[in-house]
Amino acid sequence: MAQNQRPYLPRAYRDLRAEHPAVAEAYDALGGACREAGPLSVRDQRLVKLGIAIGLSSDGAVRSHVRRGLAEGLTRQELLHAVTVAIPTAGFPATAAAYRWALNELDAGEAGGGEAGA
């Protein structure tokens, strides 16, 4: 992601934060506390969150964690491997969908788009 390029945030997410700033602040604080609660690196935390998003079959979350993983230095191969590892746990159909969502984001990132499916 270019230094002056802002990360993509869905409109519903932006609207909810704007309408409920106290909730957004508490949510951010909870996220920070969870990140700092143990020894996992930022990289490992991102891969865990990607796995959770795959298990939930959350299109938006898979795309978000792929974009953020790229921005944090994960490679295309690492992100796709993380998706593939989910097959036995999340099932083939859910993982195949997540693989497509991840590929869409990765391909958009390589093309300079960065917001596929937005």
Backbone region of residue 8 per phi and psi (left: phi > 0; alpha: psi in -120 to 50; beta: other values): beta
- Domain range spanning residue 33? 10-38
Nearest to 48 by CA among 69, 70, 63: 69
63 and 19 within one domain: no
116 and 94 within one domain: yes
74 and 63 within one domain: yes
pTM value is: 0.83
Instruction: Convert the pLDDT of each residue in 46-102 to its tens digit.
Output: 999 999 999 999 999 999 999 999 999 999 999 999 999 999 999 999 999 999 999
77 and 49 within one domain: yes
63 and 18 within one domain: no
